Amino acid sequence: MKKLLILLAFTSALAACHYGVEEADKTLKANDEYKSGAGSEYSTNRGNDGVLPKPNSNKEEAYKSLLPQIEALVSGEQDLIANLGNICAALKSAFNFWWVGFYLVKQNELLLGPFQGPIACTRIAIGKGVCGSSWQQAQTIIVADVEKFPGHIACSSASKSEIVVPIIINNHVIGVLDVDSEHLNHFDEIDQLYLEKLIRDISSIF
């Protein structure tokens, strides 16, 4: 029921933003298959140790379908906060991530921006945690097990793995996109490829 409500909310949001219903249906189907593991070995069964099997191409299809819609969604709006909020909502609805959010560089620290998920720490110094490290290195960081990342900042004890993608504009990191999962080893090169692509494709909103 909860899933249905989330899907309905996402569908309505897309429709309200004048999306092609066909495209939205396609995405929702791909996302649903990704989440249910239909037609694949992928499964979101969370009854075991919380470790996901290696994701397959359904995740890639979900990203491929979702990204153009996110681009279209933000292209009609100038306000940064509104756009970042919707990007978080779209990613969380599509993939059921534990936490999705932006940190933006302000006065030489990362300041919490729009996000979806539990309450998070508000300020992160350069080099600190996964986010501060991604900022310092200007590189995406994938952490398979947050407990094994020295200096990881635990905003939620439920978070088990994480990917942080820097937002680089004119050769400067101006923020990061942080995505957390309650499963170990949730993120791989497919997430990196498409989340980096997303950030590149929407760079004009910053």
Contact residue for ligand SME among 62, 120, 198, 202 (CB under 6 A): 120
- Residue 107 zone, left/alpha/beta (φ > 0; ψ -120 to 50; rest): left
- Show the 3-state SS of 3-41: HHHHHHHHHHHHHHCCCCHHHHHHHHHHHHHHHHCCCCC
Q: Can residue 152 be called a binding residue for ligand SME (CB under 6 A)?
A: yes
Contact residue for ligand SME among 10, 99, 135, 194 (CB under 6 A): 99
Q: Can residue 196 be called a binding residue for ligand SME (CB under 6 A)?
A: no
Q: Can residue 162 be called a binding residue for ligand SME (CB under 6 A)?
A: yes
| Burial tier of 36 (Cβ tally within 10 Å: 0-12, 13-18, 19+) | middle
Q: Can residue 173 be called a binding residue for ligand SME (CB under 6 A)?
A: no
Q: How many chain residues touch ligand SME (CB under 6 A)?
A: 16
- Of 12-20, 58-66, 118-126, 183-191, which part binds ligand SME (CB under 6 A)? 118-126
Phi, psi of 176 (to 5 degrees): -140, 155
Residue 169 β-bridge partners: 172
**Nearest CB to ligand SME, comparing residues 24 and 105:** 105
Contact residue for ligand SME among 113, 129, 166, 175 (CB under 6 A): 129
- Residues between 132 and 151 with contacts to ligand SME, criterion CB under 6 A: 132
Q: How far is CA 177 from the centre of its chain?
A: 7
46: its two tokens: 């969370």
HSE toward the beta carbon, residue 153, CA cutoff 13 A? 19
Tell me how far, at minimum, the Cβ of 6 lies from ligand SME, in Å.
20
Q: Can residue 124 be called a binding residue for ligand SME (CB under 6 A)?
A: yes
146: its two tokens: 């947050």
Phi, psi of 78 (to 5 degrees): -90, -25
Tell me how far, at minimum, the Cβ of 76 lies from ligand SME, in Å.
28
Q: Kindly list the residues in this chain that would bind ligand SME in the complex (CB under 6 A).
A: 99, 101, 120-121, 124, 129-132, 152-153, 155, 159, 162, 178, 180
